[in-house]
Amino acid sequence: MNLFANQNILLIGLSTIIGLFAVFYWSQKIKQNRLQLLTSFQLLPKLTPNLSFKQQILKLCLFVLGITFLFLGLARPQWGSERRRAQPSGIDILIALDVSKSMLARDVRPNRLERVKLSISNLLDRVEGDRLGLIAFSGSAFLQCPLTLDHQAFTKTLNDLQIGIIKQPGTDISRPIEEAIHSFSKDDTDRFLILLSDGEDLEGKGLKQAKEAAKDGVKIYTIGIGAKEGSRIPMDSLGQPARNFLRDPQGQTVITKLDESSLRAIADATQGKYFSLGPTGEGLAKVLGILQSIGQQKKREQLSTKLPIDRYSFFVFVGFLFLCLEMLTSKLSKTLSHSVSVCTIFLLFYFSGCLKQDNVKRAEEALESGNPAQAAEFFKAEINATISIGNPTDPRLFLNAGLADLQAGNLQNAEESLEVSLDANLDDPAIQAKALNGLGNIYYIRANKFLDERNIAEARKAWEQSIKYYESSSLIDGNVKAKQNLESLNKQIQERINALICKISGKIWRDINGDGKPQEVEPDLQGYVYWDKDENGEHNKTSEPIIQSNDQGIFSFEWISDKYPTSIRLGTKLAESNQSQNSFLLPMLPPPPPPENPSFVKNYYLDLNKPGEKVIGMPYRAAPIIKGQVWKDENGNGSKDPEDKQYVSAKLYLDQNGNFQYDQNETAFEPAEDGSFAQPVPPGQYSVCIQPQNPDANITFPIEENKAYLVWTDFESKSENLDFGIQDNNQQDQNSSSQQNQPQPNPPEDQEDNENAEPQPLPEEINALYERLLQEMESKSEPLEQEVEAVQSITSGRDY
């Protein structure tokens, strides 16, 4: 081990010293020669009493010694060693985003691509200090933004992503993984890839490439986008109604479905995790939360290196001391005064640390006098003074400054100081425990502030963070105060949250037996529950929040209110998968309290007497339906023969007063083009009658005198085979029937696809009947008695 780090400086110093001696010798020689020209050598001491050769030799020696020690200091003498710690940099995260046409699907708002872009932009603050990169892919992949700490540049590149930016169509998941492997630096130790796609690996190479990535140390987190049941892909511009949908070469509408199995297999192959995106980006938030914790852990880790200790300060000090003595050897008062000034300035500069104000003592006095804000300023002044002279700062100064700011209510400054004290000293458990306890207090205060603002979501986040700090503090050295704070936090925060929240849960199901209680044999229904602010029984997408149940019909949400008791109105509707053209499912909601009309039910009137838990039921029942056929009885024999055709020139009605004649207040409807009818009606007893448009037409069936059917209807029942035969020899009716029997042109292909994809809305008369039915029926629904396990709310959007 070399004693001097810069040995070349020693050679330069030696050359300089030799040069000084040479210059001194020649200067003295020339000086004596010139003086001898003026006088003799014996008279010279008498003529120049202030000129002493010994004094010149002394000054030269002092000057040379000063220069020697300065050069020794410049050569950086080193002996002994110490361990120095350096904080590592953040982690590297690449985000691979699917930009294939399937991202145009609108099962989340506004569409899948825009939803993902918004989710990423909103969550960037979670990976502050980490390098981010962006890969766009479809049939191929391209690195749109290399790894960078400039998150603004990353956001601009993300916002510029559009469908079609990758020319090669399709979805090849192996391409972004391969691109990510090449994009990471070889010296990167933490490599993370977030892959967002629907999982439809059309090329089937994703899993194989993921295994190769695992060998290179890349960990892949996959996020699924889309719905398992599939969704169509609109080609219309965003903001316009979806009318034109993507088709395959055979003309069939393309349905994009989520393939979770392939995405989960890719994540498992690299020891990553799979999440579903969720309607507001919950899956991405979970992934970034995991990476954030990894980044924070790495930030707290410190790399230890054994380095030699520099000892140059002593040599520099001695060198300046000899130079000062050299100047003091002069007899001239001017030179002496100048020398004293220089020495004084030097000593003041060198020992400034010893003469600085006692900021710590003043800070303690400020705390005793009840002024924590001023105490924090004194602690910070002490920190700045220590840093200015290049000395290491005691972590306790940051701890005291943070605690003083916390006491003064300056939470942001307190958090910064406590974080520094936590990072600056990993060898003192007591300091770490106090810093963690202080950070727990900060987030505890924030949780209470959020509760004052009725911001439950942020309050819970602060609450969870506070618990983490308290638990960490108690684990380090068994901090009793941290344990007490943790118990107090759990009790007080939970009490405040519980005082604001009523957890409402329930189930949507088909109540076949009508008892208002779900049975095992009764099918579950997937649907939606929304806050009916307008109290009109219809969902307003812009102002009324909505949640979606799970596949078992279970829903759960939290209602936040400043005061109890209170009341809300809830609406419900079924998901498209539960709609049927053969039966009309109606919600059986309990009647509202007086003075409202109990026969006119539009929504669920729910009283919340106190915070806590509330279990409700949303049963649906099938409306009663009467079905039959109207045919033209050519021979009038009262039976339907093979040659008989449909008959549509008639009106069917429900006779309610028993006169077997159509009255204006009675429900009427017409048969379909094929002569059939299927009409939902309110529960009750009816006489189903028919009235031909031609008054001369003869009703040949049924053969009873009143030519009507007496039916009793109820929910979950159908009255079928209510057939009517009409003998009508009128030529106009024959022409009409002939025209009706002509083959109808095939509907456009778009219409066929739409009918196959989703049920058509009810006709206007059915909607009118539905309103009337709501007014006439008497609900049997009542709150569920058994406990329905609350699950996490599923919002109305679909993942993609």
Contact 534, 544 (CB under 8 A): yes
- Cα 313 from Cα 349, distance rounded (Å): 13
- The one-letter amino acid at 36: Q
* Half-sphere exposure (Cβ direction) of 615: Cα atoms closer than 13 Å: 13
- Cα 653 from Cα 659, distance rounded (Å): 12
- Cα 614 from Cα 503, distance rounded (Å): 6
Residues 136 and 235 in one domain: yes
Minimal CA–CA distance to 669: which of 716, 630, 715? 630
Buried b (16+ CB within 10 A) or exposed e, 328-362: ebeeeeeeeeebeeebeeeeeeeeeeeeeeebbeb
Q: Backbone phi, then psi, for 721, in 5-degree steps?
A: 60, 35
- Cα 760 from Cα 767, distance rounded (Å): 13
Q: Backbone phi, then psi, for 162, in 5-degree steps?
A: -140, 160
- Cα 200 from Cα 256, distance rounded (Å): 8
**Any domain includes 765:** no
- Cα 507 from Cα 556, distance rounded (Å): 9
* Per-10-residue mean pLDDT, the chain, length 800: 76 87 83 68 58 74 87 82 58 92 83 87 84 92 90 90 87 91 79 88 80 92 86 84 85 86 91 86 87 74 58 84 80 47 50 53 85 89 83 84 90 90 73 85 88 84 85 69 68 80 93 91 93 90 92 91 88 81 82 82 90 92 93 90 92 90 90 93 91 92 91 90 90 47 46 41 46 44 41 35
**Any domain includes 338:** yes
Burial tier of 583 (Cβ tally within 10 Å: 0-12, 13-18, 19+): middle
For residue 405, the surrounding DSSP H or E stretch is helix 395-408
Residues 411 and 490 in one domain: yes
- What pTM value is reported for the model? 0.42
For residue 435, the surrounding DSSP H or E stretch is helix 429-452
Indicate which CATH number applies to the domain containing 382.
Answer: 1.25.40.10
For residue 635, the surrounding DSSP H or E stretch is none
Minimal CA–CA distance to 529: which of 566, 503, 504? 504
- Domain closes at, from 739, 755, 771: 739
385 to 226, 352, 354, 381: CA distances (angstroms): 58, 10, 11, 6
* DSSP code, position 718: E
**Any domain includes 30:** yes
- Cα 154 from Cα 127, distance rounded (Å): 12
Residues 346 and 377 in one domain: no
Contact 112, 104 (CB under 8 A): yes
Segments in 99-221 forming alpha helices (H): 112-122, 151-159, 174-183, 206-215
**Any domain includes 753:** no
Residues 248 and 112 in one domain: yes
Contact 340, 106 (CB under 8 A): no
Which residues on adjacent β-strands are paired with residue 547? 529, 795
Neighbours of 751 (CB within 10 A): 11
Q: Are strands 218-224 and 131-137 parallel, antiparallel or unpaired?
A: unpaired
Hey, what are 17's tokens? 């010293």
**Any domain includes 442:** yes
User: What pLDDT score does 44 carry?
Assistant: 60
Neighbours of 307 (CB within 10 A): 10
- Cα 382 from Cα 386, distance rounded (Å): 6
Neighbours of 190 (CB within 10 A): 19
61 to 27, 64, 326: CA distances (angstroms): 15, 5, 8
Hey, what are 787's tokens? 């406990």
Residues 215 and 361 in one domain: no
Neighbours of 147 (CB within 10 A): 19
Contact 68, 19 (CB under 8 A): no
Q: Backbone phi, then psi, for 222, in 5-degree steps?
A: -105, 145
At 247 the three-state DSSP class reads: strand
Contact 70, 316 (CB under 8 A): yes
Hey, what are 432's tokens? 């770490």
- Domain closes at, from 498, 532, 564: 498
> 647 lies in which domain range?
625-739
Residues 650 and 613 in one domain: no
- The one-letter amino acid at 629: Q
Residues 551 and 469 in one domain: no
Beta carbons within 8 Å of 390's beta carbon, 6+ residues apart = none
* DSSP code, position 590: P
Neighbours of 188 (CB within 10 A): 17
- Domain closes at, from 498, 523, 540: 498
Contact 509, 525 (CB under 8 A): yes
Contacts made by residues 739-742, CB under 8 angstroms, sequence distance 24+: 740/646, 740/648, 740/673, 741/645, 741/646
Indicate which CATH number applies to the domain containing 577.
Answer: 2.60.40.10
Residues 141 and 255 in one domain: yes
- Cα 135 from Cα 145, distance rounded (Å): 7
Minimal CA–CA distance to 159: which of 139, 144, 177, 171? 144
CA dihedral for 345, 350, 354, 357, sign (positive or negative): positive
**Any domain includes 480:** yes
Residues 570 and 607 in one domain: yes
Radius of gyration, CA atoms only, the chain: 44
Q: For the chain, give me the number of helices (H) and strands (E)?
A: 22, 29
**Any domain includes 707:** yes
At 243 the three-state DSSP class reads: coil
Hey, what are 266's tokens? 């890719």
Minimal CA–CA distance to 162: which of 101, 83, 244, 229? 101
Region of residue 486 (phi > 0: left; psi between -120 and 50: alpha; otherwise: beta): alpha
CA dihedral for 54, 56, 59, 60, sign (positive or negative): negative
* DSSP code, position 786: S
Hey, what are 259's tokens? 């393939």
Minimal CA–CA distance to 266: which of 225, 226, 216, 219? 219
Residues 157 and 264 in one domain: yes
Residues 105 and 248 in one domain: yes
Residues 492 and 510 in one domain: no
**Any domain includes 775:** no
Q: Backbone phi, then psi, for 565, in 5-degree steps?
A: -75, 155
At 199 the three-state DSSP class reads: coil
- The one-letter amino acid at 374: Q
If you write DSSP's letter for every residue of 24-78 in order, what string do you get? HHHHHHHHHHHHHHHS-TTTHHHH-TT--HHHHHHHHHHHHHHHHHHHHHHT-BE
Beta carbons within 8 Å of 738's beta carbon, 6+ residues apart = none
When divided into structural domains, the chain yields a total of: 5
- The one-letter amino acid at 13: G
Indicate which CATH number applies to the domain containing 219.
Answer: 3.40.50.410
If you write DSSP's letter for every residue of 652-690 in order, what string do you get? EEEE-SSS-S--TTS-EE---TTSEEEEE--SEEEEEEE
Length of the chain as a residue count: 800
Q: Backbone phi, then psi, for 729, in 5-degree steps?
A: -95, 10
Q: Nearest-5° angle of CA 256, CA 261, CA 266? A: 110
Contact 729, 695 (CB under 8 A): no
